[in-house]
Amino acid sequence: MLYKRLSELSGEEKDKLINRGGELADVGETVASIIRDVKDNGDEALRSYTKKFDRADIGAIEVSKDEIEEAVSSIDKSLLKHLEFAAENIRKFHQAQMPEKMWFMELSPGIELGQKFTPLESVGAYVPGGRASYPSTALMTIIPARVAGVKRVVMCTPPGPDGKVNPLTLAAAKVAGADHVYRIGGVQAVAAMAYGTESVDQVSKIVGPGNVFVTAAKMQVRDMAEIDFPAGPSEVLIIADDTADAAMAASDIIAQAEHDPNSVSVLVTSSEKLAEDVHREVLEQASKAARSDIVNASLENAAVLVADSMESCIEFSNDFAPEHLEIMVENSDSVLSDIDNAGSVFVGNYAPVPVGDYASGTNHVLPTAGYAKMYSGLNILHFLKCASIQRISKEGLETLKDSVISIAEEEGLMAHAESIRTRFRN
């Protein structure tokens, strides 16, 4: 774990933090090979890769309705209620994001301009498996699609060695409203949703997080299916001052670290004492962590940095562009107003990342590896298409015709100009 003054970071140390997530190119050829195989051989390839990577022999690729119902009935009723509670909060938040389906403005007499939002035909939700099951991701990816009005929503998630999908993940898929669930994961699942197979229908868009292979696969299939954004190993950056609680900040670093050995956790603070206390707390809490092997591996990517000022903390954060940003400072509104790049922001000592991971209602599918500089986290607009509209009368066209004709002729598009003149000849 790096523990240093921000101003004393070497170029190599800063580059490792800022330019993280460069592994996509390293796996590109492997990913392309799997995609081609699934495209050419369909279900046969899906079963082969599931055997190879998940150590599972699967017959039916789609999870049956009976299997889903059996999974739901096996879930503890109180846990199911918690799942439904989280689902309702996620639903409410994304309903609030819905734009007006169609609107118009009068630009000038005879000219009305507007927009019309239409839901996508189909969406594929990728829900990771592997080191843990993520029923929460089923909620985060499927519910916004349903709120937006997407007609067909499917989910892919890897099975366990017994060929079965985690029961809670299946329950979450039902609560969220998935039409179909497939027991496939990894690159092969992304390829199946993008190109279609005998069992898996092609979708218009693929959303959801995954490891470096899944992320690379999403980037490679964009000629067939739109994607949300690159979403790889999870990360948090915490901006704190001396009013922050060291044990709380340290616990948030440990919570992030337990996701994955490649997760990244950073604290940047204007307080030397807080940095010292958090560093000590992290090491102490890591020794007691349930997933200590993953936590300790992840802490190799972690850093506690002491900045000369809060302005330096903010500047570093905007450069880092974290997936999750926690703000633990006295004057949080001032810091928040200067944040330009972050996937999701958590303000105050009592707003740790896990609340957004599960139940506050905001979405936990977020851009990682600095992509928050150019992408927004998953939201309702990812599931909608927007068409512009113009209603123009002859009176309105009269006010535009000279400009249109002049520009069209300058571009050498004489028929464009003629289509305007034609309307005024008689």
Give residues with Cβ within 8 angstroms of 73, minimum separation 6: none
For residue 344, what are the β-bridge partners? 324
Q: With a cut of 80, say whether residue 426 has pLDDT above it.
A: no
Measured over the CA atoms of residue 208, residue 210, residue 214 and residue 218, the dihedral's sign is positive
DSSP character at residue 62:
B
What would the pLDDT profile of 288-313 be if each residue is shown by its tens digit? 999 999 999 999 999 999 999 999 99
Measured over the CA atoms of residue 362, residue 177, residue 147 and residue 213, the dihedral's sign is positive
Residue 170 lies in a domain: yes
Spatial strand order of the sheet with 180-182 comes to 180-182, 152-156, 122-126, 205-207, 226-227
Q: Write out the catalytic residue numbers.
A: 323-324
What would the pLDDT profile of 22-47 be if each residue is shown by its tens digit? 677 789 999 999 999 999 999 999 99
| Alpha helices in 55-166, H assignment, sequence order | 65-74, 77-97, 135-148
Residue 388 lies in a domain: no
Residue 143 to residue 385: CA distance in whole angstroms = 17
Q: With a cut of 90, say whether residue 388 has pLDDT above it.
A: yes
Residue 249 to residue 282: CA distance in whole angstroms = 9
Task: Report strand pairing: 235-240 vs 122-126.
Answer: unpaired
Q: With a cut of 70, say whether residue 125 has pLDDT above it.
A: yes
Annotated binding site for Zn(2+): 256, 259, 357, 416
Among candidate residues 227, 246, 279, the one where a domain is terminated: 227
Give phi and psi for 65, each to the nearest 5.
Answer: -60, -40
Residue-level pLDDT at 131? 61
Token pair of 367, please? 């851009």
**What is the share, in percent, of the chain residues with pLDDT greater than 70?**
99
Residues of 363-400 as b/e, b for ≥16 C-beta within 10 angstroms? Answer: bbbbbbbbbbeebebbbbebbbeeeeeeeeeeebeeeb
Are 150 and 238 in the same domain? no
Are 223 and 314 in the same domain? no
- Average confidence (pLDDT) over 259-272: 94
Residues of 157-169 as b/e, b for ≥16 C-beta within 10 angstroms? Answer: bbbeeebbbbbbb
Residue 143 to residue 380: CA distance in whole angstroms = 10
Give the Cα-Cα-Cα angle 206, 174, 90 (nearest 5 degrees).
70
pTM confidence score: 0.94
Helix 77-97 with 167-176: angle, nearest 10 deg? 40
Q: Taking a C-beta distance cutoff of 8 angstroms, is the pair 199, 50 a contact?
A: no
Residue 281 lies in a domain: yes
Are 204 and 347 in the same domain? no
Residue 11 lies in a domain: yes
Residue 177 to residue 151: CA distance in whole angstroms = 11
Residue-level pLDDT at 231? 83
Give residues with Cβ within 8 angstroms of 274, minimum separation 6: 240, 241, 242, 244, 246, 249
- Residue 265, helix vs strand vs coil: strand
Reported as type and span, the H/E element at residue 414 is helix 414-421
Residue 260 lies in a domain: yes
Q: Taking a C-beta distance cutoff of 8 angstroms, is the pair 190, 213 a contact?
A: no
Instruction: For residue 200, give the nearest of 222, 215, 219, 185 by alpha carbon.
Output: 185
Annotated binding site for substrate: 234, 256, 259, 324, 357, 411, 416
Helix-, strand-, coil-residue percentages of the chain, each rounded to 5: 50, 15, 30
**What is the share, in percent, of the chain residues with pLDDT greater than 90?**
94
Gyration radius from the chain CA atoms = 25
CATH number reported for the structural domain that contains residue 355 in this entry? 3.40.50.1980
Residue 164 lies in a domain: yes
Residue-level pLDDT at 129? 86
Are 100 and 133 in the same domain? yes
Q: With a cut of 70, say whether residue 5 has pLDDT above it.
A: yes
What would the pLDDT profile of 68-88 be if each residue is shown by its tens digit? 999 999 999 999 999 999 999
**Tally of domains in the chain:** 3
Among candidate residues 210, 227, 244, the one where a domain is terminated: 227
Q: Give the model's confidence band at 112: pLDDT under 50 very low, under 70 low, under 90 confident, else very high.
A: very high
Residue-level pLDDT at 130? 65
Cα separations in angstroms, 155 against 45, 81, 172, 210, 425: 18, 22, 11, 13, 57
Annotated binding site: 126, 188, 211, 234, 256, 259, 324, 357, 411, 416
Instruction: For residue 63, give the nearest of 208, 163, 188 by alpha carbon.
Output: 163
Residue 35 lies in a domain: yes
Among candidate residues 172, 194, 227, the one where a domain is terminated: 227
Annotated binding site for NAD(+): 126, 188, 211
Residue 379 lies in a domain: no
Q: With a cut of 80, say whether residue 158 has pLDDT above it.
A: yes
Q: Give the model's confidence band at 237: pLDDT under 50 very low, under 70 low, under 90 confident, else very high.
A: very high
Look up the domain containing 397 and give its range. 393-424
Residue-level pLDDT at 380? 98
Q: For residue 304, count CB atoms less than 10 angstroms from its CB and return exposed for 0-12, middle for 13-18, buried for 19 or more.
A: buried
- Average confidence (pLDDT) over 84-111: 98
What would the pLDDT profile of 331-381 be if each residue is shown by its tens digit? 999 999 999 999 999 999 999 999 999 999 999 999 999 999 999 999 999
Residue-level pLDDT at 147? 98
Are 294 and 180 in the same domain? no
